[in-house]
Amino acid sequence: MKLNKISFMLFVMGTVFIPSHIFAQTDSTKTVLQQASLQDVINYALKNKPGVKQTLVDEEIGERDIKSALSGWLPQINADASFNHNMKQQVNALTVDGQTSYMTLGTKNTSGITLQADQQLLNAGLIQASKSAKYYRQQYKQGTENTKITTVVEVSKAFYDILTSQEQFKIIDENISRLEKQFKDAKAQYDAGLVDKTDFQRAQISLSNARADRKRTQELLKYKYAYLKSIIGYDAGNDLSLVFNEKGMEQEVLLDTAQVLNPRNRIEFKQLETQRQLQQINTSYNKLAYMPKLSAFANYSWNYMNNDFKDLYSNSYPGSMAGLKLSIPIFQGTKRTQEIRKSQLLEKRIDLDLENTKNQINSQYEQAMATYKAGLNDWKTANENQEISKQVYGTIKLQYDEGIKTYLDLMTAETDLRTTQLNYLNALYSLLSAKLDVQQALGTITITQ
């Protein structure tokens, strides 16, 4: 009795504590990106983005299709069973020495069970399946690779866009701090009777505009985070924080512009080449369709017959057979000839697709490289202008404090500084995006996890 009480207590404790422990483990293993770098976000997207998962499922489906097609080479074993009741038995005539007699053949009830194994020895369709299996696997993997490359580019651009907005947010905050101080100084000078009220009114207008910019940037930043979450397959309800090194980003903008374009490095070109190989195999298959089919078979049957149903299965009359089956196509209209010509035309069409794709890749590369080179010049110019505007603002601020420059001059310098800082960030983002476009055009984006 005491042992039963102890067992009951252990059972109760198990039902109370074990589930909570399991749930705690489940919660603790939930992936949340905090202080995530670009590579962290890309790795997450390559594992969790629905589009990437779909291509991986497509690979698995394709593998099943391949194995299903190749299964025709394996023995095919089938069992058949039948039961027949002759409501009126057939009568046959038998003539012997000119005398004809009529007799009833068979029994009223017959039944049979046949077990047969077939083995294909020569089959054009199975030969085609064997030759094309390698290229179908390659095609599915290339589809996954294409999706992953597109994902890397999309995620990288969204990541850079968020970081650019975050830096803009910092610049606006710095601008608001300066404007608040200028507003206080202008108000104090007005209260002291040193200047009229236009200076602090201008400062108030500029401060209000800066705060409006801050609010707009803040709201847009929320959307950009939501967009990034959507393209990486991240739970919209989870927090996401990013980390980056601005100096590191500046080092990432450089690109070797002397690289030679090779269309065969592009995944789109590889996919068309694989498609052409599959079409060539299809043409060969249509030619092999004239080839005879050869298969072997063996069977064993159990036959039952009796006039009385209750005694039908009392005796068995087994039989067995083995042999070869040869099927030779002689003439089926002009279908195979037309299929061969059609397949050859499809090969020609894919060749034209390859030529057209090559031209498109070259055009895309030229556009991406021109955009990158122009963006590199814009970025350098924006960086120089930013440094100059900082010096100009510092000088005019000192002159304004000394009463040499007017408040309008100070406001102009402030606006120029803010504009050049934002231009620099936009130029940096555009340059990083252009670099990704060049790498995608060259086919040099690598998938690392």
Give one DSSP letter per residue of 317-376, joined into a string.
Answer: EEEEEEEEEEE----BTBHHHHHHHHHHHHHHHHHHHHHHHHHHHHHHHHHHHHHHHHHH
- Terminal Cα distance for the chain, rounded: 59
Nearest in space to 242 (alpha carbons), one of 252, 251, 232, 250: 232
Alpha-carbon gap, residue 439 to 434, rounded angstroms = 9
- The 10s digit of each residue's pLDDT in 24-42 is 333 333 478 888 888 899 9
User: Would you kindly state where each structural domain of the chain is located, as residue ranges?
Assistant: 39-86+115-442
Q: CB-based burial of residue 393 (10 Å sphere; 0-12 exposed, 13-18 middle, 19+ buried)?
A: buried
Structure tokens of 198?
């236009």
Structure confidence at residue 248 (pLDDT): 65
pLDDT at 19: 43
Q: According to CATH, what is the number of the domain 39-86+115-442?
A: 1.20.1600.10
pLDDT tens figures, 330-382:
887 788 889 899 999 999 999 999 999 999 999 999 999 999 999 999 999 99
pTM of the model: 0.80
pLDDT of residue 442: 93
**For position 193, what pLDDT does the model report?**
73
**For 294-301, what is the mean pLDDT?**
95
User: Which whole number is the average pLDDT over 408-425?
Assistant: 87
Q: What is the mean pLDDT of residues 7-15?
A: 43
Asked if 58 contacts 142 with a C-beta cutoff of 8 angstroms, the reply is no
Q: Is the pLDDT of residue 12 over 80?
A: no
